[in-house]
Amino acid sequence: MILSDTKIRDEIRKGRIVIRPYRPSSLGTNSYDVHLGPYLAVYRDPALDARVLNPVKEFRIPSSGYVLVPGQLYLAVTEEYTETHGFVPFLEGKSSLGRLGIDIHATAGKGDEGFSNYWTLEMSVKLPVRVYAGMPVGQLIYFEISGPVRNSYATKRSAKYRKVSAHPQPSRMYLNFPQGRARGRRYRAPRGAR
């Protein structure tokens, strides 16, 4: 079952859903609008390797906006930090964004119960389009869970994106390979991302 606006508000009061910053005007009928954060990142290498940590170049979106171009994958981040306890959050793109040819996630629209972080977006476009920090970029939908959760994302040892960061996070697929940590390239996080 999807949570209504009233239920989302109730769960925020109880602390089972956390959204910071919270804007009452962003609460929809059965979703909450999230906004594009100030940072974008692109991978440095034209060919990526799933067995290593691929370095990224991060930059701040200027106040005049930034033009996304087809054929380039952009890692972005939500302006909002969220926590979800006892529900499953889904992040979907807004229809107004879709009508501009913007996709906000390649595959990862579903979060896990216990996820507590900013959302990294995997953005791509069909046509060149200018985007702005702070613009509505997606909507969070919350689903009730049937049955107890034994392995929350907050405590799962294999969770790869638990470290809280307001910066886009590159893929950590390499950790799924044997010796992934040992074989990954040395990677230095951008300033402020540590």
Inside any domain, residue 119 = yes
Give the range of the structural domain holding residue 96, as residue numbers without chain letter: 5-156
Catalytic-role residue among 83, 92, 113, 122: 122
Task: Answer for the pair 42, 3: CB distance below 8 angstroms, yes or no.
Answer: no
Q: What is the 8-class DSSP label of residue 149?
A: -
Inside any domain, residue 165 = no
**Is 11 among the catalytic positions?**
no
Inside any domain, residue 167 = no
pTM confidence score: 0.86
Calculate the alpha carbon distances from 94 to 31, 98, 140, 163 in Å: 11, 6, 10, 27
Helix (H) or strand (E) holding 191: none
Tokens of 157: 């040892």
CA 5, distance to chain mean position in Å, is 21
Inside any domain, residue 116 = yes
Reported as a single tens digit per residue, the pLDDT across 96-153 is 999 999 999 877 677 888 989 999 999 999 999 999 999 999 999 999 988 888 777 7
Inside any domain, residue 115 = yes
Instruction: Express as a percent the part of the chain with pLDDT over 70.
Output: 90
